[in-house]
Amino acid sequence: MRRLGLPLALVLSLAACGSSETASPTEPEPPETATTAPEETTTAIVVYFMRGETVTPAHRELPQTAAVGTAAVEALLAGPTEAERALGVSSSVPEGTTLLGLEVAGGTATVDLSREFESGGGSLSMLSRLAQLVFTLTQFSTVDRVVLELEGEPVEALGGEGVLVDEPLTRDDFPDLTPLILVERPALGQTVTSPVRVSGTASVFEATLQVRLIGPDGEMLGDEVVTASEGAPGRGTFAVELPFSATGPGTVEAYTISAADGSEQHNIQVPVRLAP
């Protein structure tokens, strides 16, 4: 696995996408669609921001389009909502950055951004913005890696810190920016119905973690032991469904139990909206 030559190794996952059924050979399919009105179809995606010093997914419901990759990157460049910022979510992508082009071929997404993308910040900021871009695009099954261009020119190093981007970037390039438990769905702020499907990746001892759902009044709605497909030091996938009958604000939590003293560790909290 290639590591970036900096104090932190961060996951750079840049990728692109297209639409279902109408997608061209160079565009992947969107993850899912949902009907919000009889005559309006939308596409549900996630965009990746920062929460502390690790990536975190946020939910977006966009009008259906034949270029969901473009729509996802533009949603990323628009930044977090005020509600998300109130939850400690931020973006390392500089304001004013614009998308100039996006192409996908053979699992590689080539993203062309304006020069603002490399402005300001040190190595952590550079790595974080790259991780946000890579994670956002690699949510689509047809994108495995990302190549960055700035105003049509290939980039070998980003910013004054010289963060190397001379090879295609993948999520594996950013282990230090990826939480040990990464809940990818539901995303931050998403409205969910019963049973809520909780899925993501984890790098935990013996591949064992727990997932619970907390209701509007702090009540426990469900708590399940989950086994990921691979344990630490590797990273495996996990998924579980939790039924519920409550409505209102809720929280999905994923965590591990310490073998030493039984305390909770690596607790990840994802605020959601519980719907009937």
Whether the per-residue pLDDT at 14 is higher than 60: the answer is no
pLDDT of residue 65: 87
Helix (H, G, I), strand (E, B) or coil at 274: strand
Whether the per-residue pLDDT at 161 is higher than 90: the answer is no
User: Among 3-12, 119-128, 175-184, 186-195, which is the least confidently predicted range?
Assistant: 3-12
pLDDT of residue 149: 97
Q: Cα–Cα distance between 11 and 249 in angstroms, integer?
A: 31
Q: Which two tokens stand for residue 39?
A: 């005559």
Whether the per-residue pLDDT at 4 is higher than 60: the answer is no
**Spatial CB neighbours of 202, under 8 Å, sequence gap ≥ 6:** 180, 181, 182, 209, 228, 235, 236, 238, 254
Residue bearing the bigger pLDDT, 42 or 197 = 197
| Counts of helices then strands in the chain (DSSP H, E) | 3, 18
List, in sequence order, every beta strand (DSSP E) within 11-117.
Answer: 33-37, 40-51, 54-63, 89-90, 99-105, 108-113
**DSSP structure string for 176-209:** TTS-SEEEEESPBT-EE-SSEEEEEEE--GGGEE
Q: Cα–Cα distance between 175 and 171 in angstroms, integer?
A: 8
Backbone angles phi, psi at 147, to 5 degrees: -115, 135
Q: What is the pLDDT of residues 29-72, one digit of tens each?
A: 555 544 444 457 888 899 999 999 999 999 998 898 889 999 99
pLDDT of residue 30: 58
pLDDT of residue 211: 98
In the chain, the domains with their CATH numbers are 33-173 (no CATH), 181-274 (2.60.40.1220)
Residue bearing the bigger pLDDT, 242 or 10 = 242
Helix (H, G, I), strand (E, B) or coil at 11: coil
Whether the per-residue pLDDT at 9 is higher than 80: the answer is no
Q: Which two tokens stand for residue 189?
A: 């702020």
Q: Cα–Cα distance between 71 and 45 in angstroms, integer?
A: 9
